[in-house]
Amino acid sequence: MRWTHLQRIVIISNSLGQAQVKHSQREGTPRRLDNDGDPHTSSMTTVLDKEWPTSSASAIVGGLLRRSSWMIAAFLLVYGQTLVALARDWWTNEDYAHGLFTPFALAYLIYERRKELTNIPLAPSSLGFLVILASQAVLTVGFLGAEFFLQRVSMLLLFAGAILFFWGWQALFKTSFGLVLLLLAIPLPVIIFNAIAIPLQLLASGLAELLLGVLNVPIYREGNILQLPHDIVLNVVEACSGIRSLVSLTALATLTTMLSRFRPIPWWGRMSCILSAVPVALATNALRVTGTAVLAHAFGERYAEGFFHSFSSMLVFVFGFVAILLEMLLLERLTDPERKAAL
């Protein structure tokens, strides 16, 4: 018998509820002892000055992995197809190819922060269960509307709700870096993607026209089409709009700010680096289009295609990342008291 989508949601919801019941039973109430150290049901003296051991996040994680394999199975039952489709998009969609490296980057950040994460105090919040229910509502809407973005975002909401439900607000704050990285690896809906790509095509064409005019290269622009002498026509298509480098540079800049070396930089400095990925991506892409036009004007249209076209896209991406990295290093030097004193 085939499982319906609603049956899968009921399975994972019931599973989380049973996990909370078992967790509450394990917590229990501290036993009371008399002066002889024997437990009794009456006339008991409470040991107020004794510090009872608190559960750590590492113990809870280990317990969940050992005893709750059924919960992982329930998650795969509900989100198995969503994960496969997401991995397929990472493999086939060049605009989000950086998603293939996201799990490895996330694993490195977890390893880098392992001591901090394993020392998070346990403070479960029942609000996490509401977030879990909300995630399944979003999943249902995405499933009925055939909207993959909502289905994938619901998975992040489920992760956030589970962390809040089992560990608490502090744990959610400490692990939010993983949710942010995963969010940046989820492809945007087509309607939003196109709404961004088309203006970027026009912007790249306009900036290239301006730069070519400075270089005294005859140019006529009509929309996203650049016309050069000798009937050379360059069409700034979606792939040349710069949205690919924009998405990848934003994700890479966000990852860079999360590294332990740059975490001492104030939040405003790290946020400025992430936001600077937008103008850097647009500027480097405009230089790429301009270089392509100059090459076509000097040597012919066929020299602006093929290898140069592919190589230039990689070159401008590396140049953009180097610019963001230099910005991070400069902020590190300016905000570090010791290095600032040395200046």
Indicate the helix (H) or strand (E) that contains 97: none
Entry pTM: 0.73
45 forms beta bridges with 33
Q: What is the pLDDT of residues 67-121, one digit of tens each?
A: 567 778 888 888 999 999 999 999 998 888 888 999 999 999 999 999 999 899 8
- The three-state secondary structure class of 145 is coil
- The span from the CA of 204 to the CA of 207, in Å, is 5
The mean pLDDT value of the chain amounts to 78
Q: What is the pLDDT of residues 191-231, one digit of tens each?
A: 888 888 888 888 888 888 888 888 888 888 887 788 888 77
CB-based contacts of 220, cutoff 8 Å, min separation 6: 226, 227
Vertex 268, ends 153 and 180: CA angle to 5°? 15
